[in-house]
């Protein structure tokens, strides 16, 4: 994410330029004010009038300079924040499906919401505050240094002390920020789970437990936030003590030099009025630096969620899947639980295969291996003569279609859910709808294909969702169609009709994992594959 935010560096340079212009104008304003006061005490009307004209000219230029700085800040912040989020989503969708599914996706949601907000507030805003603070501090030191070199020494002392304090608090801040990020991830997962199980909670009188759990998790996160705020409060308090002591010393020295005639009255006023411009940037730096340092472990944790453990190179782009799928001595296990052991299977191009077997026997695992969701832990999967691991996922996924029992639908029109935002001729759409048995369903909808499907299909039946998924597969004209309990939500007559349609597809390989098997369609399959006892039997 940090690398992606470098795209905002040109705008950060614009911030530097705008801040330098604004700070320089403020510095000139202070110097002209000093000269005006000195001219007034010397009763030099001509010098006074000339200085005031210059002062007003600088003041007029300061307004657009400050507006430019505000605009550059907004552009920089927007560009950096968007770049970070877009980069995270881009890299997230580069993760392997099995590795993504192995994690609770609430953790990813938490990163895109809570952690990105923390990065925006602490890192992006912190960088802006530091850049502007350093420039303002430098200009203030130069302006005061023109009057008294001792002010320059005081500024250096304050800077060193502030930097030391920021360094001391950085490591505790990093630890607490990383811990809070993990707590936000578990908190988001809990909220997701509780809302998903709303009917179970209400129906089983679990609301009291949910309230108690929610209170405990919320309190833990708030307490962690309190610890972070407490660290920052200590930091700010120590910095302010440093500033106050420096301010008192600087004021005393200024008054002493004024009484001794070392500096003019205008010089005394300039130093007194610019002490705040000297101190405020340091105070901002003292607040911002610990926050910036504190995001280091947060960035490291975010990077960790994007890493693929299986980094086998994929170098072959498959335009078509014309060869047979060959499972050659494949074994696969979850932890110490063997699911498949030394499996051999050949699925010919255009063949129709029914995969059956007991629950937990490995049918779904075999299907995920064929889909390239999982990689074999031993043995090989071959597409023709090509090792399937070398085939790029994008090219492979474009040539396969998946129909599952749990169908996901977007909150969008029927048309977009069918086409998945691709363009198809109307005759192809009509054919897919008829073959999937959706014609009557569409005729009932007030706007036909342009009717809206609500969140994940909550306004249509389970059978209609399944038919939509099957229509997607038919429309996709894939080389291989994988079905995972696709007929479970359909009545027998609809399931038979759709199954016959799939079995009649010429040149397309169909792999159907199903508990639903009909005596009249079973003989139409090329082979029936039984998965049990960690192996396969083909009949």
For 513, the token pair is: 């994992």
Q: Give the model confidence (pLDDT) of 146-174 as tens digits.
A: 776 665 566 566 656 655 655 565 566 66
Task: Count CA atoms within 13 Å of residue 391 on its CB side.
Answer: 27
> Which is it for the CA torsion 341, 346, 347, 351, positive or negative?
negative
| CA distances in angstroms from 394 to 316, 387, 398, 399, listed in the order given | 10, 16, 6, 9
Q: Give the model confidence (pLDDT) of 230-267 as tens digits.
A: 776 776 676 666 666 666 666 666 666 666 666 666 66
pLDDT of 408 strictly over 90: no
Angle formed by the axes of helices 45-92 and 9-41, nearest 10°: 160
**Residue % of the chain over a pLDDT of 90:** 17
Q: 325-538 has which fold?
A: Rossmann fold (3.40.50)
Query: What CATH number does domain 2-304 carry, 3.40.50.1580, 1.20.1560.10, 3.65.10.10, 3.30.200.20?
Result: 1.20.1560.10
CATH 1.20.1560.10 residue ranges for the chain: 2-304
Q: What is the mean pLDDT of residues 504-522?
A: 87
Q: Give the separation between CA 359 and CA 484, rounded to whole angstroms.
A: 13
CA 240 to chain centre: 36
For 461, the token pair is: 């039946």
Contact residues for 12 (Cβ-Cβ < 8 A; gap 6+): 76, 127, 128, 131
pLDDT at residue 512 in the model: 92
- Nearest Cα residue to 232 out of 293, 142, 189: 293
Q: Give the separation between CA 21 and CA 66, rounded to whole angstroms.
A: 9
Q: Are strands 480-484 and 509-513 parallel, antiparallel or unpaired?
A: parallel
Q: Give the model confidence (pLDDT) of 29-70 as tens digits.
A: 888 877 777 777 777 788 878 888 888 888 889 899 999 999
Could you give phi then psi for residue 512, rounded to 5 degrees? -115, 105
Q: Give the model confidence (pLDDT) of 292-344 as tens digits.
A: 887 888 888 888 888 887 777 888 888 888 889 999 999 998 877 888 999 99
CB contact burial 369-395 (16+ within 10 A = b; e otherwise): bbbbbbebeebebbbeeeebbebeeee
Q: How confident is the model at residue 71 (pLDDT cuts 50, 70, 90)?
A: very high
CATH 3.40.50.300 residue ranges for the chain: 325-538
Identify the weakest region by mean pLDDT among 285-289, 358-362, 501-505, 533-537: 285-289
Q: How confident is the model at residue 27 (pLDDT cuts 50, 70, 90)?
A: confident
What is the phi-psi region of residue 456: left when phi exceeds 0, alpha when psi lies from -120 to 50, beta otherwise?
A: left
| CA distances in angstroms from 508 to 318, 327, 349, 354, 389, listed in the order given | 16, 18, 7, 14, 22
Our CA dihedral for 210, 215, 221, 226, rounded to 10 degrees, sits at 180
Q: Give the separation between CA 283 and CA 400, rounded to whole angstroms.
A: 59
Q: Give the separation between CA 60 and CA 17, rounded to whole angstroms.
A: 18
Q: Give the model confidence (pLDDT) of 336-391 as tens digits.
A: 788 899 999 999 999 999 999 888 888 889 999 999 888 888 999 999 888 998 98
For 392, the token pair is: 């790029």
For 164, the token pair is: 């030391």
Q: Is 208 helix (H, G, I), strand (E, B) or coil?
A: helix
pLDDT at residue 235 in the model: 66
The three-state DSSP-derived secondary structure of 320-359 is CCCCCEEEEEEEEEECCEEEEEEEEEEECCCCEEEEECCC
Q: Give the model confidence (pLDDT) of 264-293 as tens digits.
A: 666 667 666 666 677 777 777 777 877 888
């Amino acid at each position: 994410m940090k690398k992606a935010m470098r795209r905002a560096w040109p705008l950060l340079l614009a911030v530097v330029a705008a801040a330098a212009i604004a700070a320089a104008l403020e510095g000139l304003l202070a110097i002209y004010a000093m000269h005006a006061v000195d001219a007034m005490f010397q009763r030099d009307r001509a010098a006074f009038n000339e200085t005031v004209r210059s002062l007003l000219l600088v003041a007029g230029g300061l307004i657009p300079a400050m507006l430019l700085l505000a605009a550059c800040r907004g552009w920089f912040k927007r560009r950096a924040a968007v770049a970070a989020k877009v980069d995270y989503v881009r890299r997230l969708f580069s993760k392997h499906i099995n590795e993504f599914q192995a994690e609770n996706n609430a953790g990813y949601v938490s990163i895109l919401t809570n952690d990105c907000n923390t990065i925006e507030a602490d890192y992006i805003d912190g960088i802006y505050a530091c850049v502007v603070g350093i420039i303002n501090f430098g200009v203030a030191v130069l302006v005061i240094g023109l009057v008294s070199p001792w002010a320059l020494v005081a500024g250096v002392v304050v800077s060193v002390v502030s930097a030391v304090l920021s360094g001391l608090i950085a490591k505790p801040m990093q630890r607490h920020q990383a811990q809070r990020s993990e707590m936000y991830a578990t908190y988001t997962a809990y909220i997701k789970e509780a809302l998903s199980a709303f009917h179970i909670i209400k129906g089983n009188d679990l609301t009291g437990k949910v309230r108690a759990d929610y209170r405990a998790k919320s309190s833990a996160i708030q307490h962690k936030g309190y610890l972070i705020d407490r660290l920052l409060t200590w930091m700010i308090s120590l910095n302010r003590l440093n500033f106050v002591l420096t301010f008192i010393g600087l004021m005393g020295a200024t008054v002493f030099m004024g009484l001794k005639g070392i500096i003019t009255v205008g010089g005394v006023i300039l130093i007194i009025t610019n002490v705040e411009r000297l101190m405020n940037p340091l105070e901002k730096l003292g607040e911002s630096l610990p926050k910036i340092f504190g995001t280091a472990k947060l960035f490291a944790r975010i990077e960790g969620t994007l890493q693929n453990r299986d980094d086998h190179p994929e170098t072959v782009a498959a335009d078509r899947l014309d060869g047979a799928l060959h499972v050659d001595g494949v074994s696969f296990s979850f932890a110490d639980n063997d699911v498949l052991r030394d499996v051999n299977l050949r699925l010919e191009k255009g063949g129709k295969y029914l995969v059956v077997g007991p629950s937990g026997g490995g049918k779904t695992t075999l299907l995920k291996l064929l889909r390239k969701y999982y990689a074999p832990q031993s043995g090989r999967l071959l597409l023709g003569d090509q090792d399937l691991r070398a085939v790029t996922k994008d090219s492979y996924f474009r040539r396969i279609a998946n129909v599952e029992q749990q169908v996901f639908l977007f909150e969008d029109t029927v048309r977009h859910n069918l086409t998945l935002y691709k363009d198809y001729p109307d005759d192809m759409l009509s054919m897919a709808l008829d073959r999937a048995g959706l014609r009557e369903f569409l005729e009932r909808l007030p706007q036909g294909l342009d009717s809206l499907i609500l969140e994940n299909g909550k306004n249509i039946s389970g059978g209609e969702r399944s038919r939509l998924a099957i229509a997607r597969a038919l429309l996709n004209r894939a080389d291989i169609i994988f079905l995972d309990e696709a007929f479970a939500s359909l009545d027998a007559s609809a399931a038979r009709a759709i199954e016959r349609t799939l079995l009649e597809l010429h040149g397309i390989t169909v792999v159907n994992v199903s508990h639903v098997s009909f005596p009249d369609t079973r003989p139409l399959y090329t082979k029936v594959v039984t998965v049990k006892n960690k192996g396969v039997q083909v009949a």
